[in-house]
Amino acid sequence: MLPSRHLVIGTLIVLVVFIVGICVQYPKLIYETFSLKHEQHPEIISTHELIEKTIELNYCQRQLGIKRSNVGRTAALQILTPWLAPIIWDGTYDIDLLNTQYKDKTIGLFVFAVKKYIRFLGPFLKSAERYFMVGHKVRYYVFTDKVAEVKWPKMAENRILVLREVTADQRWQDVSMRRMQVLTNLTRGELQTDVDYLVCADVDMVFADHVGVEILGERVATIHPGYFLKQPLSFSYERRPISNAYIPYGDGDFYYMAAFYGGTVDEIYKLSTACQEGIVSDKKKDIEAVWQEESHLNKYLVYNKPTKVLSPEYIWDTDLPNGNLVQKKRFLAVHKNHEEVRNRRDLTDIN
Ligand code: 4GW
Ligand code: MN
């Protein structure tokens, strides 16, 4: 016998009332049961997962930025080089963990302030006190021809300034290249015992945000902020085979800027020795690499890959395009008064 129509309708009404009742009573249970994506409760996301999510987010943001600016090559925006060295971007590391790892290390900061560039030393050191390796043992190595003009900065405990006199070369190209020779002597000598890691910097810069132990490694170089989206074929490597800094087309991964690099004392000794030998060998042939010691540095790093690469966060200039892809600008070029102190990219001499 078929059930009567009233019975079927009655049963249906009871069922609907029952389901609606459950939904009202237990909305969360219903949501989680039928939701396609079972999201974790925020409280139970671990720090590790959080870091991974941050990295993913940063990566996506950069990818989006690239799409918007129609750029094809993305290698420099990754967080890993093809030889598996980390590329340091904001959010890719846990600074507390690293601070503990490096807490007993002494870090040297090497800088040249010769002739008119002495004017950059004060702001450079002041900004370093505020942002560079805060809380760690730091030794500044300042080389200048104007020892009497150095204004001693107010320094935190556990930070020391070592001041050394250096002869001022007449040509600015030689001033800049001289740094390699001085570095060779320094890393072969006293730094062997006094310092664990050495960071080498241009003086016409200021620290504008945290720069800490995340940059330390055996051999560390910074991607030139003007080239981080460019193809290797357009890098301004030295292309004349006669120079010791020659890099053939097809070789090379990044264009590094000589304004900020570092490493262990032994590594900087090897690097500066190689660059210095290249410079001397070129001089004997009466030639000079297109970007002086930066060309030799790039040559060395193409064939001795950095163990860590710093993103353009670590050298930036406010005039540069694509700043939206670089959220933290940690080490900034000081805009020079071109009448008083010329930029070497202008290729003009000053005394
Ligand atoms: C052009 O007239 C000059 S002077 C180019 C460099 C000069 C220079 C450089 C100088 O007179 N004194 C000096 O100490 N330097 C050091 O070399 C200083 O540490 C400076 O940051 C570094 C590299 O020179 P730069 O900063 O002018 O190079 P770019 O243009 O690549 O930043
Ligand atoms: Mn500079």
The pLDDT value recorded for residue 13 is 74
Site residues for ligand 1, CB cut-off 6 Å = 111-117, 172, 175-176, 202-204, 259, 342-345, 348-350
**Ligand in closest contact with the CA of 175:** 1
φ, ψ (nearest 5 deg) of residue 205? -140, 160
Task: For the chain, count helices (H), then strands (E).
Answer: 9, 10
The pLDDT value recorded for residue 89 is 97
Helix (H, G, I), strand (E, B) or coil at 274: helix
Residue 56 burial by Cβ neighbours in a 10 Å radius (0-12, 13-18, 19+): exposed
Instruction: Tell me which residue has tokens 């504008």.
Output: 208
Q: Which atom, in ligand 1's list, is nearest to the CA of 336? A: 27
Please indicate, yes or no, whether the overall pTM of this predicted structure exceeds 0.85: no
The pLDDT value recorded for residue 37 is 43
The pLDDT value recorded for residue 111 is 98
- Which of 109, 117, 150, 332 has most ligand 1 atoms within 8 Å of CB, for mutation? 117
| Domain boundaries defined on the chain | 5-89, 98-349
Task: Per-residue pLDDT tens, the chain, 351 aa: give them.
Answer: 455 677 777 777 777 777 766 655 665 555 455 544 444 444 455 666 666 666 676 666 666 555 555 444 456 788 999 999 999 999 999 999 999 999 999 999 999 999 999 999 999 999 999 999 999 999 999 999 999 999 999 999 999 999 999 999 999 999 999 999 999 999 999 999 999 999 999 999 999 999 999 999 999 999 999 999 999 999 999 999 999 999 999 999 999 999 999 999 999 999 999 999 999 999 999 999 999 999 999 999 999 999 999 999 999 999 999 999 999 999 999 998 766 666 676 544 433
Instruction: Please tell me the chain's helix, strand, coil percentages from 3-state DSSP, rounded to the nearest 5.
Output: 45, 15, 40
Q: What is the rounded CA–CA span in Å between residue 256 and residue 323?
A: 18
Q: In terms of Cα–Cα distance, which of 324, 242, 317 is closest to 287? A: 242
The pLDDT value recorded for residue 258 is 98
Secondary-structure class of domain 98-349 per CATH: alpha beta
Q: Catalytic site residues?
A: 294
Q: What is the dihedral of CA 184, 188, 189, 193, to 10 degrees?
A: 130
End-to-end CA distance of the chain: 112
φ, ψ (nearest 5 deg) of residue 161? -110, 125
Q: What is the rounded CA–CA span in Å between residue 285 and residue 288?
A: 9
Q: Which atom, in ligand 1's list, is nearest to the CA of 346? A: 1
Between the CA of 132 and the centroid of ligand 1 the distance, in Å, is 21
Between the CA of 50 and the centroid of ligand 2 the distance, in Å, is 37
The pLDDT value recorded for residue 218 is 98
Between the CA of 78 and the centroid of ligand 2 the distance, in Å, is 26
Nearest CA to ligand 1 atom 28: 344
